[in-house]
Amino acid sequence: MEYFLHISIICLIYILFSSSLNLELGCAGLYNFGHVGFFAIGAYSSTLITLSDYPVWCGFLSSMLIAGAVGALFSWPVLRLTGDYFGVASLAFAEMVRLLLLNERWLTRGPMGIPGIPQIEVMGRIDNYTNLVVALLLTTVSLFILKKILSSPFGRTLKLIREDEHVARAFGKNVVSFKIRTIAIGSAFAGLAGAFWAHYIGYISPNDFTLQLTVLVLLCVVLGGRGTLLGPVVGSIIVIAVGEGLRFLPLPASMTASVAHIQSMLFGLVLVLLMLRRPQGIIAESHLLQET
Amino acid sequence: MLNVTSISKKFGGNQVLTDVSIKLDRATPITGLIGPNGSGKSTLFQIIMGFCSQDSGRVEFSGRRLDSLPPEKRCHAGLSLTFQDSRMLSFMTVEDNLTAIPTPQYGESLVRTFLFPRMVRRQEQEIRDKASDILKLLSLSDQARQPAGSLSYGQRKLLEIGRVMMTDPQLVLLDEPTAGINPTLIQSLVNVLETLVDKGIRFFLVEHNMPLVSQLCDRVLVLDAGELIFDGTAADARSDEKVVRAYLGSDVHAVS
């Protein structure tokens, strides 16, 4: 039961994290390969704030504000770049964040990481049921807000920008302003996911926030279907289920140590096959359009 | 209204525009710009709209210099552009291709979306009503909820004009609006343009369809190899020696 609870909580964190990326990638067409950097900023912000005796909810709120503000600051210069260049710059940003966390030992304890992060407590209860309820609540509220954003004229303009930036500009849309706001919102929700993850796991170190996590969350979005609210939800459930399912494969004892590598290879392969065979993902935006 | 002065542009070693000066006024509803392929027509439009910067010269609109303004600010100043290649927002519905266009919209502010939903809904309804009227005029009402990618090429061109109608521009730069569309749809397009002219919108039209240019444009400008070689009526253009040589070919009767 504890294992099932754990998988459900991790799944909800991934849903929140991938939905935040979906806003940028799926709706605005921003290939942010450095999304994990904001997840890390959220995790560290909340950790450091709660370790200074502030309550966990205060950590959640500040992680959103700090990650959102850093997202806006990061996007201000970087959005002058377009397409692939933006992707490369975002990748470099995530690595900068990781190296900063690794080297600023006075603040982050560097590679030793930070243990003993305060757990989530609701009415005196600290257990996985509480974690699940809080994760469910945070994810549901976040998805509701994202749904409201996606179905608003703001979300529609994001899609206009994603489809054709030239048309958007020709009709007077301030593309940079829309993108900055999108990255700020996406980063804030990624920060929240990171904060929850830190309080749930109880220990963080810079090596938890590598490119591999970005690829995994990217897979959740692409597999589920970009630009739809449900896509990242479905994608996250499948990615976590497949990843965990591999643990139960009847592999020879000599191979059990390689499960993590097999998992990475499998996810990489799925990503390549998806791009080749079904780039629109399981829940295709165009199909949803036709059904309306 | 539009004052283009001594515009020159070079791409690498290729001189695309040389000292081009054009003045458009409100008295001429539709001004045509013709010229052979590669004569610099689309580049001139891109420069006027701000998607491409000129090497020298200036662009003024309604007495205001536009040179340092990005395309979105030029749109706010009253300019609009349709692109030569049909730029559809394929993964958006036909209706959303129109409703996304007006700027600014209350709902584009997230503060208003969450704090003043009623105000956003009211404006949204107005925008949807306007889009619905335009789709009716363009005979695209039946496709309103379909992805724009499912439209035929001609319908896409019409939808592009529909996008222009969602804004209130003073001058629209139309880059080959009838390229690749059938005569029936061309007539629909002409009807729409005439409706818009009656509403006070002025057009600067790049077009290869000479009979259409003659029908619509009171004034025709001709570009050849980046230089403006003619400014007059369509009828005069047909008999102008330079134009005949550069654009219409040596056998005038073959094209007229």
pTM comes to 0.86
Tell whether the model's pLDDT for residue B231 goes beyond 70.
Answer: yes
pLDDT at position B255:
45
Pairwise CB contact (< 8 Å): B110 & A167:
no
pLDDT at position B161:
87
pLDDT at position B248:
57
Tell whether the model's pLDDT for residue A161 goes beyond 70.
Answer: yes
In terms of pLDDT, which residue wins out, A142 or B243? A142
- Tell me the mean pLDDT in the region A142-168: 93
Enumerate residues 232 to 251 of chain B having a beta carbon within 8 A of any beta carbon in chain A.
none
pLDDT in tens, B144-158: 999 888 888 888 888
> Distance from A290 to chain B by nearest Cα, in Å?
6
- Tell me the mean pLDDT in the region A47-72: 95
pLDDT in tens, B2-48: 999 999 999 988 899 999 999 999 989 999 998 888 889 999 999 99
3-state SS of chain B is CEEEEEEEEEECCEEEEEEEEEEECCCCCEEEEECCCCCCHHHHHHHHHCCCCCCEEEEEECCEECCCCCHHHHHHCCEEEECCCCCCCCCCEHHHHHHCCCCCCHHHCHHHHHHCHHHHHHHHHHHHHHHHHHHHHCCCHHHCCCEHHHCCHHHHHHHHHHHHHHCCCCEEEEECCCCCCCHHHHHHHHHHHHHHHHCCCEEEEECCCHHHHHHHCCEEEEEECCEEEEEECHHHHHHCHHHHHHHHCCCHHHHC
What band does B254 get if pLDDT is binned at 50, 70 and 90?
very low
SS3 of residue A229 by DSSP: coil
pLDDT in tens, A229-271: 999 999 999 989 888 877 777 777 777 777 777 777 887 888 7
- Tell me the mean pLDDT in the region A153-170: 92
- Tell me the mean pLDDT in the region A50-79: 94
ipTM of the modeled complex: 0.84
Tell whether the model's pLDDT for residue B125 goes beyond 90.
Answer: yes
Pairwise CB contact (< 8 Å): B167 & A289:
no
What band does A43 get if pLDDT is binned at 50, 70 and 90?
very high
- The 3-state DSSP composition of chain A as helix, strand, coil percent (nearest 5) reads 80, 0, 20
Q: Is B149 on the interface with A (CB under 8 A)?
A: yes
Burial class (CB in 10 A: 0-12, 13-18, 19+), B97: buried
Residues of A whose CB is below 8 A from B142: none
Tell whether the model's pLDDT for residue B256 goes beyond 80.
Answer: no
The DSSP bridge pattern shows strands B30-34 and B56-61 to be unpaired
SS3 of residue A125 by DSSP: strand
- Tell me the mean pLDDT in the region A140-146: 96
Best to test chain B binding among A148, A161, A165, A173 (most B CBs inside 10 Å): A173
Treating both helix axes as pointing N-terminal to C-terminal, what angle do A2-22 and A175-201 enclose, rounded to 10 degrees?
Answer: 170
pLDDT at position A202:
94
pLDDT at position A267:
79
pLDDT at position A78:
85
Which residues make Cβ contacts (< 8 Å) with residue A13, sequence separation at least 6? A135, A139, A193, A196, A197, A200
Residues of A whose CB is below 8 A from B96: 156, 159
Tell whether the model's pLDDT for residue B58 goes beyond 50.
Answer: yes
Q: Which amino acid is at B31?
A: T
Enumerate residues 133 to 192 of chain A having a beta carbon within 8 A of any beta carbon in chain B.
148-149, 152-154, 156-157, 159-160, 163-164, 166-167, 169-175, 178, 181, 185
